[in-house]
Structure 1
Amino acid sequence: MQLAVPSVVILFNFIPLISARGKPIDIFNQAGKGDITQLRAPAQKNDKRMYNALHKYSNLKWQIKESDGTYVIPYIITGRYDSSEKATIAEAMRRIQRNTCIRFKPRTTERDYIDIQNQKGEGCYTNVGRVGGRGVLMLEANSQETCMEPEIVLHELMHVIGLWHEHMRADRDKYIKVLYQNIPQNYWSQFEKVTSQEATTYGIPYDYRSVMHYGKKAFAFPGKISMQTTDPKFQDVIGHQKDASPNDYRKICKIYGCSTCAGGKVDLEDQGGQDGRDKGDDDHDSVTEVPIVIPTGGNCVDTMGSFCRTMAKVGMLDCGYFGRRHCCATCSAQSSKWIDPFEGFDSFFRRFRF
């Protein structure tokens, strides 16, 4: 009975956090519009240059290289976001910075930069790579709809860096079947497959767990699916990742020649040809995954005092999003392994996905 009161207190403490968030936007539908600016523009509908990852010599790569070998992506935030939404953006940036040689820095006088905007009805989208001058990263966030889920922000930032969608790979037919009969014809361009001469995968195998992979119902008619995985156990895996995969980070490291990747030294020699193209196909499970290092941040305290330790002692402290937010120190003390701070949202928001 002693636990009943604090349980009620913690419930009411979390209700405002839940109700303040809008419904997560389905970035793979968005009323028929994708999340890549180049694919939204009618003028680009016949453009065949759809890469899985930019070539290392691509002019769409970000160009500012620091003396320590890191690459800088300048940014400004002109959209209005609350502190929680800004924290979600910052966390996504930190994950990329910790696992690659990419650094996000507030813009000063740089010519090329991204402008993070928030406009109602616009959804979540951006360009792939550096477009020259100001590039828009649209992250809508309001009480009705929001892009402020960690996996959505990560997905869009990885487009900014230089990754296209995983299902666009030339070898995708070995792993998925696109069901065009279930997709309106004007959305077929979202499933464009490229040839091995056009695509660059850096020899990294097809990844069902990539945060860049579409979900099974993307752009499909109501009640239908647009993609079927050749291995049935991955049918409900695609499009539902809460974090970037090791292979997502590896591609970024290959594009920019990072000397370390996901906290470890990497072989900078291409696994493909000298221009970054594939030497051959690899099986999906043939790669040794690089462990992902997720930052914990420096302000890790228990905001609810002894209540956190009491709940932990009786085995009732859930170190998902809410527990991590209010009982960070206790959760960290329980395990040296980082727990995704947004893990607790998974089951709650899963019902909103289409």
Structure 2
Amino acid sequence: MMNILLLLVLAAVTCHGRRLSIDEMIVSASKVSALDYLTDPGGNILLHDMDMVLKFDQWQRLNGIDKSRKKRKAIREMRYRWTEKKIPYKMAKDVFQTNDLAEIKKAMDEWSNYTCIRFVEATSETNHVYFDDASGCYSYVGMVGGTQTIGLAGGCRYKGVIAHEIGHAVGFHHEQNRPDRDNHVRIIRENIPENLFYNFKKYDSAAVNNYNVAYDYGSIMHYGGRAFSLNGELTIQTLDSADQGRIGNRDGLSFSDIKLANLMYSCHEMCDSSIQCPSHGFLGKDCKCYCPGDPVMPCGAETGIEGVTKAPTTTAPVTAPPCENLNEYCQAWADAGLCGDHQYLQLYCKKACDLCEKVTKTTVKPTQAPCLDEKEHCGFWQQQGYCTGEFESFMKAHCKKSCNYCNLLTGSDSKRGSGGAQVDGDDKNGSGRIPTGLWAFVSSFVLLCVTLLPTTL
């Protein structure tokens, strides 16, 4: 049995002998062949960018549709922080094995050891996170109110992935979408499917606060260099090639992750205000100054070099990976004839879909983005009547073709549909696991896979 478990672990964190980046691990854990979808219209929930659960008003504010966002910025920053620096949590019953629980604990300990954020078992707390099985890896951003699920499919149950999802719950966004990212990385558009380019949209500087923490290639929140790659080539290229292998860290928190969390939650608020730390350091919960180390060390310590953050011990490969399947369900989906209809398979199941030689890195990009559907299920949403009413702004940005907006938009407007990223939001009714009823058309693929896959190892 132990040998079988070891093989499963190795299969989840490697592919053809190479270690997967954080985004590849999230992709490989998915049980549905969709990159994003709209679900629960009554609750206005969207799954975006592989693992971000957003409320519809979050998307609106990030894209400038909420005109009051600047006035409410200070309120938003505090409203969605966990009160008393405490995150109550519950575990779904009869879901996680002993080793799964150990990985979750290691991820929580990593956050609490380096910051003032505490994880406590929920008793009567209304606001809490709920670790549960899911169709993939996902989390809400910040404290949105009520029960908010951190979804962990079997392939998500490793410390690094769990720490990443907890990071979203703490209030972190993806590093590669920061407003200042162009000073550090180049997004290679020709290697990205046109209708998925919105995943690389820079965040609105009025909607996020980086607390003057430097851009961090080693952040647990930074995707790898081939995220959403059409052809296996780089989509995120570091300006300094020496840093290319650092992005996609899936091992643990970096120095900057730790520094940002300490600033976000004012971990130093009980310390003497006269204490001054070096500009690249921060004042910790114990009122001591910490500087970059492995991942941190006391400033001035003789055991390391101040100002140098140690690169992750495992990194995403710089060379192009072989043609491969990143999901255990790829062959079953391909056998069911889904390759032509689902872009997820075209990106992450190239081997099963026989696309290894058919996609080249010389993909031609038009000078102006065409009027098209940017999301996989626009046709379904159009049939549900989402082109008008409450979801009209979302559909105009992402589903121009299905909603017949193409002839109504000017040339400048037709380029506008690249929105969609994460930002703190509110939820008056609370928020638990993603409902399944209204995206059964997606989750039905799971049942199909179960039918097609063998029942024994």
Check conservation: 2:87, 2:117, Cα contact below 8 A. Answer: yes
1:110 to 121, 125, 147: 125
Separation of aligned partners in 1, 2:267 and 2:276: 7
Matched, 1:95 2:110: yes
Check conservation: 2:110, 2:252, Cα contact below 8 A. Answer: no
AA aligned opposite 1:83: T
Give the aligned partner of residue 228 of structure 1.
Answer: 237
Shift of 1:28: 5.8
Give the aligned partner of residue 59 of structure 1.
Answer: 79
Matched, 1:289 2:287: no
Check conservation: 2:63, 2:204, Cα contact below 8 A. Answer: no
Separation of aligned partners in 1, 2:274 and 2:127: 28
2:139 to 111, 122, 126: 126
Separation of aligned partners in 2, 1:100 and 1:49: 31
1:23 to 6, 12, 25: 12
AA aligned opposite 1:75: Y
Shift of 1:60: 1.1
Separation of aligned partners in 2, 1:139 and 1:241: 15
Give the secondary structure class of the aligned counterpart of 1:95. helix
Q: Gaps spanning 5+ residues in structure 2: where?
A: 14-23, 37-49, 65-72, 281-289, 298-312, 327-347, 349-457
Check conservation: 1:254, 1:268, Cα contact below 8 A. Answer: no
Check conservation: 1:62, 1:72, Cα contact below 8 A. Answer: yes
Instruction: After superposition, give the CA deviation of every residue in 1:297-334 in whole Å (9 maximum; x if it has no partner).
Output: xxxxxxxxxxxxxxxxxxxxxxxxxxxxxxxxxxxxxx
Give the aligned partner of residue 96 of structure 2.
Answer: 81
Matched, 1:139 2:152: yes
Identity in percent: 27
Matched, 1:254 2:263: yes
Shift of 1:57: 3.6
Separation of aligned partners in 2, 1:251 and 1:267: 18
Shift of 1:268: 8.9
Shift of 1:208: 0.3
Check conservation: 1:116, 1:137, Cα contact below 8 A. Answer: yes
Instruction: After superposition, give the CA deviation of every residue in 1:43-85 in whole Å (9 maximum; x if it has no partner).
Output: 76554269xxx9784311111x1xxxxx110111116111111
Describe how 1:1-354 pairs up with structure 2 within 5 A. Answer: 15-21=3-9, 23-24=12-13, 26-27=25-26, 30=30, 31-33=34-36, 34-38=50-54, 46-48=60-62, 57-63=77-83, 65=84, 71-78=85-92, 80-119=95-134, 122-141=135-154, 146-259=155-268, 288-289=291-292, 292=295
AA aligned opposite 1:89: I
AA aligned opposite 1:173: D
Question: Would the alpha carbon gap of residues 189 and 47 (structure 1) be closer, same or farther in structure 2, given more than 3 Å must change?
Answer: farther
Instruction: After superposition, give the CA deviation of every residue in 1:267-301 in whole Å (9 maximum; x if it has no partner).
Output: 699x79xxxxxxxxxxxxxx94155479xxxxxxx
Question: Would the alpha carbon gap of residues 49 and 98 (structure 1) be closer, same or farther in structure 2, given more than 3 Å must change?
Answer: farther
Instruction: After superposition, give the CA deviation of every residue in 1:81-137 in whole Å (9 maximum; x if it has no partner).
Output: 111111000011111111000011111000100111113xx1100011011001010
Counting matched residue pairs gives: 258
Give the secondary structure class of the aligned counterpart of 2:203. coil
Shift of 1:198: 3.2
Question: Would the alpha carbon gap of residues 46 and 178 (structure 1) be closer, same or farther in structure 2, given more than 3 Å must change?
Answer: farther
Give the aligned partner of residue 301 of structure 1.
Answer: none
Q: Which has the higher contact order (CA 8 A, sep 6+)?
A: 2
AA aligned opposite 2:4: P
Separation of aligned partners in 1, 2:109 and 2:221: 18
What TM-score does the superposition give when structure 1 sets the normalisation length?
A: 0.63
Give the secondary structure class of the aligned counterpart of 1:96. helix
Separation of aligned partners in 2, 1:138 and 1:104: 17
AA aligned opposite 1:23: A
Check conservation: 2:175, 2:221, Cα contact below 8 A. Answer: yes
Check conservation: 1:77, 1:116, Cα contact below 8 A. Answer: yes
Give the secondary structure class of the aligned counterpart of 1:32. coil
Shift of 1:186: 3.2
Check conservation: 1:32, 1:219, Cα contact below 8 A. Answer: no
Separation of aligned partners in 1, 2:205 and 2:79: 20
Shift of 1:169: 1.1
Give the secondary structure class of the aligned counterpart of 2:89. strand
Give the secondary structure class of the aligned counterpart of 1:214. coil
AA aligned opposite 1:232: S
Shift of 1:209: 0.5
Q: Gaps spanning 5+ residues in structure 1: where?
A: 1-12, 66-70, 273-286, 295-342
